[in-house]
Structure 1
Amino acid sequence: MNAPTSVWWTWLAVAGLGTFHGVNPAMGWLFAVALGLYRRSRRVVLLSLLPIALGHALATAGMLAAGLSLGMVIDHTALNRTCGLLLLGWAAWHLLRGHRMRPRVGMQAGFAGLTAWSFMMAGSHGAGLMLLPALMPLCGALPGALGATRGVTTSEIAAIALCLHSVAMLLTTGVISLAVFDHFGVAGLRTKWLNFDLLWTGTLAACGVMQLAL
């Protein structure tokens, strides 16, 4: 696979992870639907998505900034190994105790409360960590693919990736929230939805293995 093709596949991976995060009810859409049903307002469902997406983006940005900053001071191979082990450890923690550490927010939460809740949920689930296996190769490949004359920096690449990831997450969350609120209802999800705790844990572990293999 040549460099430009590899870059495009990496962009798709970044957007795909945003979609995956948006599908996970723990990342916000289930809470948005609950708020809308509690207040009997479709508008509340839509408005609640903005702070939820913002909190998720802030948590992801913090993790990306930490990972990319470490990449400037330690060997790239050592960073890959460290991130891979961290992802595997986070997967194990999430499997054993992650479900016990979910922050509680009431039905009267405002913009700041929803943002803080989303930030803590994304952080405790390791959402930002999942992006590192995709973003680290991207930061190395994209400047050469775009051409040195454009002066693309690692920070700009990370910012673009974060925006793409966040938009994909927001769109997915919005579509599912409205579908559940307007048509399916929360009760039906008990028998018609996946066990996302196990799927999320498996994805964390898979990202960790991928990072170790880089």
Structure 2
Amino acid sequence: MLLPFAFLLVLAEWQRPIQLVASLLVIGFGVYRLVDRRHPRALARIPPTQLALWSFAVAIAHGAALMLVPIYLGLCQAFELDAGHQAAGELMKANVGMAVLVSLVHVAAMVSAGGCLAWLVYRYLGLRFVSRSWFNLDAVWATSLVLVGAVALAFNLASWH
């Protein structure tokens, strides 16, 4: 029962070194993606009948979990939130039902906005436009990883002294 709390204590004691290593790993992965431009071929071998598994694998391969890294690196501080995020945070702290409601409204807004944009592109520009104008964002993504890792490393080293 106390094991998770013991892990949290160890995590709190080692927070700075973990942040330092995490920022170096993010920089290293970004540099690796800049140097090695090949797309992972293993993901193309998943049969279409397993679309959910394929979606999950592609999201993981493209670094979906890395979006949480800035939070752990300490780049997202509570005192830097704008009024909208502070209000949402207060609503979610009120009770579990409110937290679920806020999450559902957020999901509905994001799905609606994405769906509307997809429909507008399909309706007015067509699929031919999408297939011809597609560009690869891997280099932009890898560069952003290097930059985020460097900023986190600079913050970590600056706060250490």
TM-score range normalised by the length of the shorter chain:
0.5 to 0.7
Gaps of 5+ in 1: 1-67
Distance 1:139 1:200, change over 3 A: closer
| Amino acid of the structure 1 residue aligned with 2:148 | C
Tell me the equivalent position of 2:44. 104
Distance 1:138 1:200, change over 3 A: closer
| Amino acid of the structure 2 residue aligned with 1:92 | V
Length-normalised TM-score, structure 1: 0.45
Work out the number of aligned pairs and report it. Answer: 132
Tell me the equivalent position of 1:95. 34
Distance 1:138 1:87, change over 3 A: closer
For residues 8 and 38 of structure 2, what CA distance do their matches in structure 1 show? 30
Q: Is the counterpart of residue 83 in structure 1 residue 22 in structure 2?
A: yes
Distance 1:80 1:71, change over 3 A: farther
Tell me the equivalent position of 1:207. 148
Aligned identity (percent) is: 28
Tell me the equivalent position of 2:61. 124
CA shift for structure 1 position 118: 1.9
Give the structure, 1 or 2, with the largest relative contact order (CA under 8 Å, sep 6 or more).
2
RMSD between superposed Cα atoms in Å: 4.2
Distance 1:197 1:138, change over 3 A: closer
For residues 8 and 70 of structure 2, what CA distance do their matches in structure 1 show? 15
| Amino acid of the structure 2 residue aligned with 1:131 | L
For residues 88 and 203 of structure 1, what CA distance do their matches in structure 2 show? 9
Query: Are the equivalent residues in 2 in contact too, given 1:91–1:204 (CA < 8 A)?
Result: yes
Query: Are the equivalent residues in 2 in contact too, given 1:84–1:209 (CA < 8 A)?
Result: yes
Length-normalised TM-score, structure 2: 0.56
| Amino acid of the structure 1 residue aligned with 2:67 | M
Could you say which structure has the larger radius of gyration?
2
Query: Are the equivalent residues in 1 in contact too, given 2:29–2:145 (CA < 8 A)?
Result: yes
